[in-house]
Structure 1
């Protein structure tokens, strides 16, 4: 069980494209953030996979992981996650085997069950309507694991296909989840488990406790490894944190009410916005998706969540509204949690 001295911190980067900025600037921001997180002692830095959006450029977490790993020294990097329905399991294994060979012991493969996008874009990614309706994730996951472990039955048509390198080149594999579906795969396959509390806050604690209780050891993990992911906005004062949280609160309220305005709002736009009754209701519903406040209060809440859910690691879903605020926020949290600095 986590205590005040054992809680590790990690970061989940959506590579947001802020208003009036360019994708290149967003990528430079992520590079700077990964390097700072590395120096501050954060445990891992993951990238999401999203498609057909003008406000994010996190379409390829494997490529982003390659870049981040090459520009850091100690921090683990990886996907949060690879949306497996969009990919060939064999190609995922090839890519992450290569990453592991280039950066031994620093690569994570987080796997998601959804497409991370809308139906039309999923069709474009998966190349056929039949693939969209297949619902074959269990088979995909089995194939991915068998390629890594090279243990297909002799009669399987893939038994003679060999990934590059040797069987030791395996990243740490995590199942992502926001429901019991992802949980069961993590338990049965003996994988790590990262729960998106920003998507399903009420389920986080019971599901993460179930994972710890029911985990079955495997070739990939002998003991359970669990992570709670949650949106965090930390600042020196509560007033400042609430101001910085304005854009993400407005964006999520708009998503909940079906608005077509889904770009990341500016601080000025959020501060001037007058919420409709429906938006205000959505904003209140969304409160548990985030931890917002001065750094001391935020740290106490995160420690309580870690203890209740039996995790020793919190992953911060990054929703800061600017590069300066995110750099400052992560610096404050690292100091508050006394993370081990990497010189």
Structure 2
């Protein structure tokens, strides 16, 4: 079992509006947590890309990354991820090279293959039915990496394009995945890799092990860099953690039964909710998507997973509806892993 002293912790923020707060208040909460994570020694703070959701404000990870970087000193910031099908590869390179120039050595670029939204919104983003219905991710990825590494063949028309003048470094680039697909791009291109275990918990360990066993050094990473991403709720005791996890369990049960609603559940709503048979079944099926428990049991669970998945870093996605409990949880984790 891996020692907690060798395990790094990072945070994935999806910008969920809680307890009827405004979008501005939600973003302020994110920056407050980023500052705390910076002070506590967390490795990175990432923002997701989601569109057309009723209570998530994480539509522009580039902008949030810039704001977080401006308000922190050491922690790495970036995207988890940029959904490349929604964007021009050149524009992604320009944005993140700009950020790298502003905050050298602190930028991460996580790349996803999914749209992060529904079909209509994808069309509104891409402005082309062909772009929505066709699959050209490999070409997009090659173009984006070409702009970063400046290694287009001399006869390629893009070889004459300068995405950002005068810069000598690029962000660390990671491929995101929740299946066997994304990891193949990470291995082939020599990129870092992050697996979203909350989307496919049964695949997390074998896919992360396959990445570690097959990856080779590249111009983008001198050694394989793998991260285990999971939903985690912790507190001082198992009982308190289970209470705090009530809203996320109810949210995912509703998500899986097609009854999402327009607001995220509160602690009070979750504690008094009577699950329908369909919701109860979904809740049981979702059990492996979460790590919920007091700090001692969570520590043991993360140490075991790190050994099994051959990783030394976890990226934590959480849904604390109480900001004080949220900060306390990250302090508890830091006291066990980041001392």
TM-score band, normalised by the shorter chain? over 0.9
Aligned residues of 1:149 and 1:167 also touching (Cα < 8 A): no
Q: CA deviation at 1:165?
A: 2.9
Alignment root-mean-square deviation, CA: 1.1
State how far apart, in whole Å, the 2-side matches of 1:263 and 1:218 are: 44
Aligned residues of 1:2 and 1:310 also touching (Cα < 8 A): no
State how far apart, in whole Å, the 2-side matches of 1:298 and 1:135 are: 40
SS of the aligned residue for 1:67 comes to: helix
Correspondence for 1:29: 29
Aligned residues of 1:247 and 1:267 also touching (Cα < 8 A): yes
Alignment CA distance shift 1:94-1:2 (3 Å): farther
Aligned residues of 1:254 and 1:262 also touching (Cα < 8 A): no
Equivalences for residues 182-331 of structure 1 within 5 A: 182-261=182-261, 263-331=263-331
2:146 maps to 1:146: yes
Correspondence for 2:335: 335
**Residues 230-281 of structure 1: CA distance to partner in whole angstroms, max 9, x if unpaired?**
0000001111111100000000001111114263100111111110111111
Correspondence for 2:44: 44
State how far apart, in whole Å, the 2-side matches of 1:267 and 1:15 are: 18
Aligned residues of 2:111 and 2:173 also touching (Cα < 8 A): yes
State how far apart, in whole Å, the 1-side matches of 2:165 and 2:236 are: 48
Q: CA deviation at 1:154?
A: 1.7
Correspondence for 1:13: 13
State how far apart, in whole Å, the 1-side matches of 2:88 and 2:171 are: 17
SS of the aligned residue for 2:159 comes to: coil
Aligned residues of 2:190 and 2:218 also touching (Cα < 8 A): yes
TM-score, length basis structure 2: 0.98
Aligned residues of 1:69 and 1:103 also touching (Cα < 8 A): yes
State how far apart, in whole Å, the 2-side matches of 1:235 and 1:3 are: 20
Correspondence for 1:136: 136
Aligned residues of 1:33 and 1:327 also touching (Cα < 8 A): yes
Q: CA deviation at 1:318?
A: 2.0
State how far apart, in whole Å, the 1-side matches of 2:261 and 2:295 are: 30
Q: CA deviation at 1:102?
A: 0.9
Q: CA deviation at 1:131?
A: 0.4
Correspondence for 2:124: 124
Aligned residues of 1:3 and 1:307 also touching (Cα < 8 A): no
Q: CA deviation at 1:205?
A: 0.2
- The runs of at least 4 consecutive aligned structure 1 residues that moved more than 2 Å come to 1-4, 165-169
Unaligned runs of 5+ in 1: none
Equivalences for residues 70-109 of structure 1 within 5 A: 70-109=70-109
State how far apart, in whole Å, the 2-side matches of 1:36 and 1:224 are: 28
Aligned residues of 2:47 and 2:65 also touching (Cα < 8 A): yes
